[in-house]
A and B are shown apart, each in its own frame.
Chain A
């Protein structure tokens, strides 16, 4: 089983809203990632959690706030987003911080209006 589950699949939010994206995996993976992908571009790394600790923040604006409540769950809290933040948000997980494969969830298509 290589399933990473993301909810919701689609989200439309206003610039003053607060919303959260959720990601869950039950593969025992200890590294979890958030990526942002714009149309016709490769995924762009936002955050990495390793063993439930934030290990990489790629200078992401504070309107994006990650949270890792436990080893299976990863959240991305959104607040005061801008229309240019509209994108496909991808969660991925891998076994650890060594050379292993990363598996992606289906993504959340976010539209900021």
Chain B
């Protein structure tokens, strides 16, 4: 069973702080990694994708991938109350499709 685990929430950070979200996966041949943000009652929204080891930055978001450790993370700098949502880590394996982690609920406190 291919598994994706995320640090349990809820995670609370003050406004302006860095929020750190973590994800581990069990399948070593996983190829692609994604972070989705999901507001309550809404559909998941893709915010980051990462395919190779290292960091990828997009605005206030940085995704980090370490395939040797089977670990992917998302950092949100200068967190805003509007970042409060559930963050889903998704891992893609060719032929297996997307496997989602259970999600981490982030609360940014004004």
Q: Which residues of A contact B (CB under 8 A)?
A: 2, 33, 41-43, 45, 48, 56, 88, 90, 97-107, 109
With A97-B94, A99-B94, A102-B46 as contacts: A42 and B88 at CB distance below 8 Å: yes
With A41-B102, A42-B102 as contacts: A99 and B32 at CB distance below 8 Å: yes
Nearest 6 CB-CB pairs, A to B?
A99-B32, A42-B100, A104-B43, A107-B43, A99-B31, A104-B44
Using Cβ atoms and an 8 Å threshold, which residues of chain B touch A42?
Answer: 88, 100-103
Residue picked from A97, A102, A105, most chain B C-beta under 10 Å: A102
A88–B44 CA distance with the chains assembled, in angstroms: 11
- B46 and A103 contacting across the interface, CB-CB below 8 Å: yes
Q: 19 A–B contact pairs at CB < 8 A?
A: A2-B46, A33-B97, A33-B98, A41-B102, A42-B88, A42-B100, A42-B101, A45-B97, A48-B97, A56-B97, A97-B94, A97-B95, A99-B51, A101-B34, A102-B34, A103-B46, A104-B44, A104-B46, A107-B42
Residue picked from B41, B42, B44, B49, most chain A C-beta under 10 Å: B44
A90–B44 CA distance with the chains assembled, in angstroms: 9
A97–B103 CA distance with the chains assembled, in angstroms: 24
- A98 and B94 contacting across the interface, CB-CB below 8 Å: yes
* Minimal Cβ-Cβ distance residue in B for A88: B43
With A99-B31, A99-B32, A99-B51 as contacts: A106 and B43 at CB distance below 8 Å: yes
- A106 and B42 contacting across the interface, CB-CB below 8 Å: yes
Interface status of B45 (Cβ within 8 A of chain A): yes
Interface hits, B35-81 → A, CB 8 Å: 36, 41-46, 49, 51
